[in-house]
Structure 1
Amino acid sequence: MRFNPDEIKEWAGKDFDQAWTEGKKFIKRSGLNEQYPHMSLRYGKPHPIYETISRLREAYMRMGFEEMMNPLIVDEREVHKQFGHEALAVLDRCYYLAGLPRPNVGISDERIEAIRAILGNVDDEAIETIRKIFHAYKKGDVEGDDLVPEISAAINISDSLIVEMIDQVFPEFKELVPQSTRKTLRSHMTSGWFISLSSLAERASPPFHFFSVDRCFRREQDEDAARLMTYYSASCVIADENVTVDHGKAVAQGLLSQFGFEKFMFRPDDKRSKYYSPDTQIEVFAYHPKLVGSKTKYSDGWVEVATFGIYSPTALAQYNIPFPVMNLGLGVERLAMILYNATDVRELAFPQIAQYSEWRMGDDELARLIYVENVPETEQGKEIADSIVAICEAHGSTPSPCEFPAWEGEISGKHVKVSVVEPENDTKLCGPAVFNEVVVFKNDILGVPDNKKWKEALENHSARTGVRFLDAFAAQAARDIENAIASGESEVETRVRIVKVPSEINIRLEPLANYYITSNNKKIDVRGPVFTTVRATIG
């Protein structure tokens, strides 16, 4: 089943709720939900850092700022212009970009023989074509990822043989060593702001109000719970003749109040970056009531979240920027850690990476990894399973010996009679665990009865599989009957006694669930006396 592009186009332009409704109707109408029972349309889950970025962008725009994309790749000369004699200390934290040189590839007589041994007895014209393409590659007229297909197309030989030729005949490609350029990855957003404002000053007049939320890169010695080698900066500038530090205070308060911060403190920053005017670099501390008493270093409620200052006239003059500029910078990850009560930025950013994050699955996630293994394939088989369930629900406590007809009808031209039986004396049609349901409770997989003892486990509906021992057993019995009919048998009996493991009652766990349970020392306790038997005669 494929999605119909015309139907998808019909959703375009509708608001989210309309698109959501139309999408669910499409899934049902297309039959995908029957073909793939687990397929459903549901709300997705944002990454906490990207969600924080989204909220910051909206917050800035509500305050009247216009979004701008600043250069990410910055020549080291820009850092010298901004920092002067301190530039080397800053550049020590920058990543320099490097690239592989393009070798000058020669084709000797010995190499021609090797080429012909791999490609076949190609003629001199093909050899000359290879030589010219290598020369064009050296000059930059052919890109590295186009080299193989260019040669392949020119001499009509498969890509795989060309790759083998380059690998075996031209070892200089393997021996290439990256050569550094003078270009760096932006280590702080200010590098981009100077470049952007310099160009803008030639085309427009202030006041300007711009913001940018984007990546920066810093060559840390190591990553730890508080810092990453690449991070997001939520930065803004106000360019105006009358801009002062009071504008920075107002922006910080207006921005952070939208995230629940209530009180603010402003302190001079001891770092005193050279691109800020003296005594204008200010650290912003904000108070968040949810942090009070938390198990973090911000348990007093106060946290440093931003820095702002007025750009130095000396640095601005290097870029011919003739107007004062206030800049505020905020670390997105630090704000996200506060909002999500995180203590390790690595775990917040990369929860999927085992070395950074403890593997945690919700009970509801585990419940979705538990299923009935064997199920009936025919409509009559499904009716048989439902009938077995109905008989056990109605007569499960009947004293034995006893027998109850469950279903009778035709399947594949055969007359089939199905009964639920218990031939032994002094017991009941079904054992006491037959109605136990498989649930996940505190990451344990359990088979539990519906009683007061297990009330807490059964209250979490999202962690209930909805599968009782009886349901799984009935599905297995119906499937056994279908298989018996297919193999020409005249009778079949499906019996379950004391269940010790899930597979004995036709219940399976996805391998991921098994791995999670064993890795975290949790338990699987799906057991109990079921003592139920189904017989079928096939005529």
Structure 2
Amino acid sequence: MKFDPEAIRKATKEDFDAAWKSGKDLVHRSGINQQYPHTSFNFGKAHPVYDTISKLREAYLRMGFDEMMNPLIVDEREVHKQFGHEALAVLDRCFYLAGLPRPNVGISDQRIAKIKEMLGGIDDEGIEIIRKVLHSYKKGEVEGDDLVPEISHKLDVSDALVVEMIDQVFPEFKELIPQATKKTLRSHMTSGWFLSLAGILERARPPFHFFSIDRAFRREQQEDASRLMTYYTASCVIMDEDVTVDHGKAVAQGLLSQFGFEKFLFRPDEKRSKYYVPDTQIEVFAYHPKLVGSNTKYSDGWIEIATFGIYSPTALSEYEIPYPVMNLGLGVERLAMILHDSTDLRAMTYPQIPQYSEWNLKDGELATMIYVDKLPETVEGQEIMDSIVEQCELHSSEPSPCEFAAWEGEIGGKKVTVSVVEPEEETKLCGPATFNEVVVYENDILGLPNNKKWKKAFENHSARTGVRFLDAFAAQAAREIEEAVENGESSVETRIRIVKVPSEVNIKLDPLAQRYITGKNKKIDIRGPVFTTVRAEIE
């Protein structure tokens, strides 16, 4: 179904709410509830990771946690304060931010001559304007993305000319090398929690219950099925005088039970991060019936899903935080893989990227990419097409030579008479493949007779195109009759013999289907003897 802007504009909030309520559990792409016929649009499909984030947010909110957004860019000195002697190991996995320096660009006489030549009509005053804008850029008063528009506006010349002038006159801009800063992209949500908790203590008193679901970045040696360089972490903290490990266990159970996990194991984490109190860093293993018997290493139903611990007083004191803090975190993608039956993190996260995800289409999806090429464009042409089909269905086995009147009427003010004929002797009006239907079976595109031999191929109704060789041929014949009338011809004959490729029977494949079939080494087998002819006389 196509996107309908008018329907979207007319729909009220009540329409959307009712449609969502009635359709949220239906198969994706199902239409809106017929109770609201003027709002004809489809529900969108959520990405597995963002769908899981949405559910996690709701789960945390139901448990009484307030949502917080933590700093994403963290200075390396904060990592040293939080991780102590482990900071170098952590920073080794961090991405450092870099920026391009702003060059101190001079304008020599040679450059002035080149600028005047390129910008035609620019005088010394214009050169001074360029000099001042470049100086403002160097001082940071003009941003990089404003440099071209600023010069263009003040000189009243086009952006394209200014871009060309900078490119040819000031090679310094092309030779810039990024310079690293001391700022990093957050590799652990913990880096943000220390900053946030220190800040909020200046304005409020605990107890605090916060959660944050956001990106983290880690400079992995390589990405594979179980790790990416950027991922989402769902983290929470409880700051309270009496917070203990039991709070972590309770949060883990309360959170994960909302996703179908039934049993839990808590084991000491051997990693022993320095920012946790010794012996409080706990791994959470949870049992999910969906994993039992799966083709993964978690086929026994148990999976490590989260980690929690109590922040070290030493690390907290670096931020003048006098209260104990429990922190729990889990990888969103790992949970998403369970909920969405995925075994490869890359394929689930980036299904649109070929090197990450194998391209698989269901037979029903392929069937939607097969269609009749030429179609009649008038009501009369549609009638002609239907009449050709009807005569062939009635007389397909009649011995030849034979001829059957199919349609008589007017098109564009001209009288048209249409017949289905087979002029050759000792055969029939229609060949044995006439009623073959185009179906998709095990990713092969086939033209098949609907008989006992091919019963399985026809059982999947969604993989049947509903297009027989006869239907496609009749559509082509009707369209060619319309064209003959338009061109002032007195007669036209459309003949089909032995079909060897789809185009010979007026069937076309979407290029995507063609590419998919070729890439999968599957086959397109649309062929067979049809042997019939349509003639039209035009007066």
Distance 1:517 1:7 in 2: 37
Determine the C-alpha separation between the residues in 1 that align with 2:35 and 2:54. 24
Alpha-carbon distance, 1:191 to partner:
0.8
* Structure 1 equivalent of residue 338 of structure 2: 338
**Runs of 5+ in structure 1 lacking a partner?**
29-40
Instruction: Tell me which residue corresponds to 2:507.
Output: 507
Q: Tell me if structure 1 keeps the 8 A contact 2:7–2:38.
A: no
Deviation at 1:187, TM superposition (A): 0.3
Counterparts in 2 of 1:40-59, with a 5 A limit?
41-59=41-59
Q: Is the CA contact (8 Å cut-off) linking 2:15 and 2:36 kept in structure 1?
A: no
Q: Give the number of equivalent residue pairs.
A: 527
* Counterparts of 1:250 and 1:448, CA distance in 2: 60
Change (3 A) 1:336 1:2: closer
Change (3 A) 1:462 1:5: closer
Partner amino acid, structure 1, of 2:42: R
How far has the Cα of 1:532 moved from its partner? 2.0
The separation in 2 between residues aligned to 1:450 and 1:61, in whole angstroms, is 56
Secondary structure of the 1:132 match is helix
Q: Does 1:243 align with 2:243?
A: yes
Task: Tell me the CA shift for residue 398 of structure 1.
Answer: 3.1
Structure 1 pair 213/368, CA: closer, same or farther in 2 (3 Å)? same
**Contact conserved, 1:431 with 1:531, CA < 8 A, in 2?**
yes
CA distance in 2, matches of 1:9, 1:472: 39
**What residue number does 1:411 align with?**
411
Paired with 1:159 and 1:2, the residues of 2 have a C-alpha distance of 36
Partner of 2:311: 311
Which amino acid counterpart does residue 474 of structure 1 have in structure 2? A
Deviation string 1:421-457 (CA, Å, 9 cap, x unpaired) is: 2233443322222221111111100111222332322
1:8 aligns with 2:9: yes
CA distance in 2: counterparts of 1:315 and 1:21, whole angstroms: 55
Note the 1:86-97 alignment, pairs <5 A: 86-97=86-97
What are the superposed Cα offsets for residues 136-158 of structure 1, whole Å, 9 maximum, x if unpaired?
11111111011011101101111
Q: CA deviation at 1:2?
A: 11
Say yes or no: does 1:296 pair with 2:308. Answer: no
Report matched runs for 1:204-353 at 5 Å.
204-353=204-353
CA deviation after TM superposition for structure 1 residue 526, in Å: 0.8
Contact 1:235–1:328 (CA under 8 A) maintained in structure 2: yes
CA contact (8 A) 2:400 2:425 kept: yes
1:37 is matched with: none
Q: State the one-letter code of the partner of 2:12.
A: W
Alignment of 1:190 with 2:194, yes or no, is no
Are the structure 2 counterparts of residues 5 and 518 from structure 1 closer, same or farther at C-alpha, using a change threshold of 3 Å?
Answer: closer
Helix, strand or coil at the partner of 2:535: strand
Aligned ranges for residues 61-460 of structure 1 at < 5 Å? 61-460=61-460
Aligned 8 A contact 2:10 2:39 in 1:
no
Code of the aligned partner of 2:74: V
Inter-partner Cα distance in structure 1 for 2:277 and 2:291: 33
Deviations 1:65-100 (A, max 9, x none): 222111111111211111112211111111111111
Deviations 1:261-305 (A, max 9, x none): 221111000111111111100001111222222221112221111
Q: Which residue of 2 aligns with 1:34?
A: none
Q: Percent identity?
A: 73
Deviation at 1:162, TM superposition (A): 0.8
Please identify, of 239-248 and 136-145, the stretch whose mean Cα deviation from structure 2 is larger. 239-248
Letter in 2 for 1:257: S
Structure 1 residue 186: Cα displacement: 0.6
| Separation (CA, whole Å) in 2 of partners of 1:416 and 1:150 | 69
| 2:458 counterpart SS class | helix
1:223 CA displacement = 1.1
What is the distance in 2 between the residues matched to 1:267 and 1:123? Answer: 77
Residue number in structure 1 paired with 2:26: none
Q: 1:460 to 1:195 in 2, by over 3 A?
A: same
Task: Give the match's secondary structure for 1:381.
Answer: helix
Alpha-carbon displacement from aligned partner over 1:113-149 (angstroms, at most 9, x marks no partner): 1111211141111010111111111111111011011
8 Å CA contact 2:11, 2:39 repeated in 1 = no
Residues 11 and 22 in structure 1, CA contact (< 8 A), matched pair in contact too: no
1:523 counterpart letter in structure 2: K
| Normalised TM-score (structure 1) | 0.93
Unaligned regions of 5+ residues in structure 2, if any?
21-31
Question: Which residue identity lines up with residue 8 of structure 1 in the other structure?
Answer: R
